[in-house]
Structure 1
């Protein structure tokens, strides 16, 4: 199309009308429909939800949420925390650090029994974690049945072998070789329990309505961190496992709802009597890559 001077001379009234029409429609849409448009599509641009590393398609659907009336606000109650002396505060901090400094990733488990009540209490402790808007977007599933654990191991190992042989980079596989890590997961049917950590892509209300979840993967990460500390405190061990590509099959096996996505798999129990761990050193707090005080 030729946009030379004769074209503009002949068609300028039409172009002017088109520009006026465009900006008029844009102005009316903002003025008359802006609130409705924002309510309908705000979840697609929520930065808290954008932080999730992998979003299920279900998360893109409309969910309930929005401003609450004063009557809907959560009641606040007084909070009192015991205050220790400076000396006692330091002692407790050092004592907790020393306990956690003994925490290691263990891949050799004993089949010695662990009371189920202990595991349930550990999960209750993980549930004390903060979460975005207190949505608590996690589901902890405990597997104890031996046959079910064997099925889980079979599904995980099939996918892990493919990961190691095809999906993972050569550098990744080589870095794992230093830790003597392979695609085999024999701990899965030896450990007394498997804790499966699911992310709830959205919540489900009492009437079946969908409920927004915010910062879900960050919230779950904090919760699992508390769980690891609780496991160490109880004298037990675990290894954090991310069952890449096995999630859908495991969700089906465990009959979990469609709004749940498997993030982590944690065997839990006592270490084997002959268990070994890599001789690794943690970064010192003075290392600028670890921590700094400004």
Structure 2
């Protein structure tokens, strides 16, 4: 069976962890944000918002991350994190408003995750790589304050974005038949 363009895009997208130093044009980033805004979401609540760090502001992001680490981890990782975070062109926090109602919270979380996947696919189509990170520092009060995450908001992920320096090889996936429970 020949793959259609969307299926091919889904299968070819890779998580990119090594980026070129080239800046990502803001116009391109805004176009991708607006494309991802078409992600499915219950009741059109659009429970997402984004906080961008690029250019000199990458220093603010880096310091916020380092400040959220334990003293031991800061000593251990500071040099490498500074190098890594200052060379990644864009850090984008994807934040959701936390609804206290469990059903709506789950729907909103699913919608924001869908938004992130739509963003990743649209970025890949335009030659950009993305890695979606979920690390403990995202919950640290000091990181949240510096990054502008408000009360009642959850950081669903930090997207590191840029033009790929290295595109990893694909890794095998488990066939759906191995995970399918079928009632007929």
Shorter-chain TM-score category?
0.7 to 0.9
Equivalence for 2:47: 137
Q: 1:117 to 1:99 in 2, by over 3 A?
A: same
Q: 1:245 to 1:142 in 2, by over 3 A?
A: closer
> What does 1:189-268 correspond to in 2, within 5 Å?
189-202=86-99, 214=105, 215-247=107-139, 248-268=141-161
Aligned mates of 2:130, 2:33 — CA distance in 1: 14
**Unaligned stretches of 5+ residues in structure 1:** 1-89, 165-183, 203-211
**Are 2:181 and 1:280 equivalent residues in the alignment?**
no
Shift of 1:221: 0.9
Higher relative contact order (CA 8 A, sep 6+): 2
Q: Could you say which structure has the higher strand fraction?
A: 2
Shift of 1:244: 1.3
Aligned mates of 2:72, 2:32 — CA distance in 1: 31
Alignment length, in residue pairs?
173
**Unaligned stretches of 5+ residues in structure 2:** 74-79
Aligned mates of 1:163, 1:103 — CA distance in 2: 36
**Contact 1:135–1:213 (Cα < 8 Å) also in 2:** no
Give the match's secondary structure for 1:133: helix
> What does 1:37-186 correspond to in 2, within 5 Å?
94-146=4-56, 148-157=57-66, 159=68, 185=81, 186=83
Report the TM-score, using the length of structure 1 for normalisation: 0.51
Give the match's secondary structure for 1:277: coil
**Contact 2:22–2:162 (Cα < 8 Å) also in 1:** yes
Aligned mates of 1:150, 1:244 — CA distance in 2: 19
Larger CA Rg, structure 1 vs 2: 1
